[in-house]
Amino acid sequence: MEQPYVIGIDIGGQTAKSGVVNARGEVLAQTIMVSNKHTDAESFVDALASTIKKLIADADIEGQVRGIGVGAPNGNYYTGEIKDAPNLSWAHEKDVPFAKMLSEAMGGLAVSLTNDANAAAVGEMTYGAAKGLKHFIMITLGTGVGSGIVIDGQVLYGHDGFAGELGHTCAVRGGRLCGCGKQGCLEAYCSAIGVARTAVEWLDQHPDEPSLLRLRENITSKDVYEAAKAGDQAAKEVFDYTGTLLGRSFADFIAFSAPEAIVLFGGLARAKEFLYDPIFAAMNDNVLPLWKNKVKLLFSSLSESDAAILGASALAWNL
In this prediction, residue 304 carries a pLDDT of 66
**Number of structural domains in the chain:** 2
Residue 110 lies in a domain: yes
Alpha carbon distance 168, 122 (integer Å): 21
Contact 256, 135 (CB under 8 A): no
Cα 27–Cα 128–Cα 222 angle in degrees, nearest 5: 85
Helix (H) / strand (E) element for 248: namely helix 233-257
In this prediction, residue 151 carries a pLDDT of 97
Residue 126 lies in a domain: no
Contact 3, 20 (CB under 8 A): no
Residue 311 lies in a domain: yes
**The domain that contains 90 carries what CATH number?**
3.30.420.40
Residue 127 lies in a domain: no
> Residues 113, 140: one domain?
no
Residue type, 77: Y
Rg for the chain, CA atoms, rounded: 20
> Residues 167, 275: one domain?
yes
Alpha carbon distance 33, 55 (integer Å): 12
The residues facing 31 across adjacent strands are 18
> Residues 102, 200: one domain?
no
> Residues 137, 234: one domain?
yes
In this prediction, residue 126 carries a pLDDT of 84
Contact 261, 130 (CB under 8 A): yes
In this prediction, residue 305 carries a pLDDT of 64
Cα 13–Cα 162–Cα 74 angle in degrees, nearest 5: 15
> Residues 241, 108: one domain?
no
> Residues 153, 203: one domain?
yes
Chain centre to alpha carbon of residue 77: 16
Contact 294, 255 (CB under 8 A): no
> Residues 297, 309: one domain?
no
> Residues 148, 117: one domain?
no
> Residues 140, 289: one domain?
yes
Alpha carbon distance 263, 248 (integer Å): 15
- List % helix, strand, coil for the chain (3-state, nearest 5): 40, 20, 35
Instruction: Please name the residues in contact with 15: beta carbons below 8 A apart, sequence gap of 6 or more.
Output: 32, 33, 34, 35, 36
Q: How many CB atoms lie within 10 A of CB 160?
A: 10
Contacts 24+ apart (CB under 8 A), 169-172: 169/249, 169/252, 171/245, 171/248, 171/249, 172/245
Domain range for 70 is: 5-121+305-316
Residue 277 lies in a domain: yes
> Residues 279, 137: one domain?
yes
> Residues 151, 38: one domain?
no
State pTM to two decimals. 0.88
Torsion angle of the four alpha carbons 61, 96, 184, 34, in this order, in degrees rounded to the nearest 10: 40
Residue 259 lies in a domain: yes
> Residues 109, 170: one domain?
no
Q: What is the mean pLDDT of each run of 10 residues along the chain (319 residues)?
A: 89 92 91 90 96 96 96 94 91 94 97 92 88 96 93 95 94 95 97 97 96 95 98 98 98 97 94 98 97 96 78 87
Question: Is the Cα torsion angle 11, 301, 140, 317 positive or negative in sign?
Answer: positive
